[in-house]
Structure 1
Amino acid sequence: MKNFYVPILLFAFLINVNAQTNLYENPEFDDIAKSHRIIAIVPFKTKVKLRPKQMKDMTSEQLDRLEKAEGEGIQTALYSWFLKRKKRGDMKTVDIQDVRTTTAILNKKDINYDNILDYTPQELAQILGVDSVISGDFETNKPMSEGASLALGLLVGFGGATNSALINMSVHNAENGTLLWNYNKKVNGGLGSSSEDLINVLMRKASRRLSYTKN
């Protein structure tokens, strides 16, 4: 039985070693969230920091596509994470806009991954017709999403666990653009093999201070 617990303990250690977390919660978030009925998640701006040898096998255009796929993968993983909490009964007052609806609305306004930073979170929330918008940026040295991993697999050989990930996530109010919540976390170590694994690790403790998922 002792041997059974060693890998689990080692994995837990790898996830937590050198972890750095900064979390801000607006003192009025709970009260503001009471009037919210729908939230949206936009693609995260992503930086994939590959090794020099890997970069030699890629063009800048390929890297751009890779980072876009990764940013959209984080968006989809977060959407799935919130849906699971909704199904579990942890989110009784708000719904999450389907990411396909979010993408379609933004495309009609000629807003995409490349120019989304030209718009404020308040502008994006109002365009999407939601009460708040979740946005952010993400940095990693190994892509986690299926789409990004597929793109990378076609270009460079690359295995092993992710060594580092940094996520900066914010929730802004649609009505006035107020920052309601910000979560900045860096983790070194094994983070699983998908965007869903990564989000589960990163959101495990942060969700306890996110008004939408508080019990």
Structure 2
Amino acid sequence: MKKVVSIFLLYFLFILQSNGQSHFFKNADSETIAENHETIAILPFLTRVTLRPDQMKTLSSGELASLEKQEGESIQNAISGWFREHAEKGTLAVKVQDPGITNRKLNAAGINLENYPDFNPAHLAAVLGVDAIVTGNYETNQPLAAYSQGSNKALPKIPQETSLAFINLMIYNAEDGELLVQFHNGIYGSKASLNEGVIHALLKKISRKMVYTNT
């Protein structure tokens, strides 16, 4: 099977060194391909939480992994919410599979955050029964999902003005695993207190260029 995790992580490290420089790629055939799509699925994002050394000392490796999993699922829900808003406005051309259904199908197939990058996009889409998948990476120094849900209380809250997040989002066609869209960018400051706000602020930059939307 096609190994993509190393590509994701190496590329994401390059993104982090680019100081938030925005990049957007759109396949020349993406609009034509997307015309035949009816349903897409959004996977939990591979997430890296970077904290200060004194904060890291308060977390075990298991707690950090749990925190990153929680953050990745929060990003999944936030992106789903962004698409759902467009659906409610009548500006979305596809249906979005409920994240809960997506995660249950992945779990039933033995696919999780630890191993799903080992599978090529076409295989993941087939497991989920969709026409395209949205996946990617997310890095933050302020795990907003944990704070908003009141978990990981041992982790001291980072002042909002220091918040920093980077996203690398990709949309793949199910039939052949072709990359249709890729977007990476960073966001700084206190534009939002929850991941939903962070994601909406990031995706607003590309809403007019994104496949499936007509805004």
TM range (shorter): 0.7 to 0.9
Structure 2 residue aligned with 1:60: 61
What is the alpha-carbon distance in structure 2 between the residues aligned to residue 96 and residue 32 of structure 1?
A: 17
**Deviates most, 154-163 or 168-177:** 154-163
Q: Offset of 1:148 from its aligned partner?
A: 7.3
Say which SS state the counterpart of residue 145 (structure 1) adopts.
Answer: helix
What is the alpha-carbon distance in structure 2 between the residues aligned to residue 105 and residue 184 of structure 1?
A: 27
* Structure 1 position 100 matched with structure 2 position 126: no
What is the alpha-carbon distance in structure 1 between the residues aligned to residue 121 and residue 133 of structure 2?
A: 6
* Structure 1 position 156 matched with structure 2 position 152: no
Structure 2 residue aligned with 1:145: 145
* Conserved? CA contact 1:143–1:149, under 8 Å: no
Which protein has the bigger helix share?
A: 1
Amino acid of the structure 1 residue aligned with 2:74 = G
Amino acid of the structure 2 residue aligned with 1:23 = F
Amino acid of the structure 2 residue aligned with 1:209 = K
Structure 1 residue aligned with 2:113: 113
Name structure 1 gaps, 5 residues minimum. Answer: 1-17
TM-score normalised over the length of structure 1: 0.87
Q: Once the two structures are superposed, what CA deviation does each residue of 1:171-203 show, in whole Å capped at 9, x if it has no partner?
A: 000000100000010122223110111111100
What is the alpha-carbon distance in structure 2 between the residues aligned to residue 87 and residue 148 of structure 1?
A: 25
Structure 2 residue aligned with 1:182: 182
* Structure 1 position 128 matched with structure 2 position 136: no
Q: Offset of 1:147 from its aligned partner?
A: 7.0
Structure 2 residue aligned with 1:210: 210
* Structure 1 residue ranges, 4+ long, deviating more than 4 angstroms after superposition: 146-149
Highest CA radius of gyration, 1 or 2?
Answer: 1
Structure 2 residue aligned with 1:21: 22
TM-score normalised over the length of structure 2: 0.87
What is the alpha-carbon distance in structure 1 between the residues aligned to residue 91 and residue 106 of structure 2?
A: 28
* Structure 1 position 201 matched with structure 2 position 201: yes
What is the alpha-carbon distance in structure 2 between the residues aligned to residue 86 and residue 145 of structure 1?
A: 24
Structure 2 residue aligned with 1:44: 45
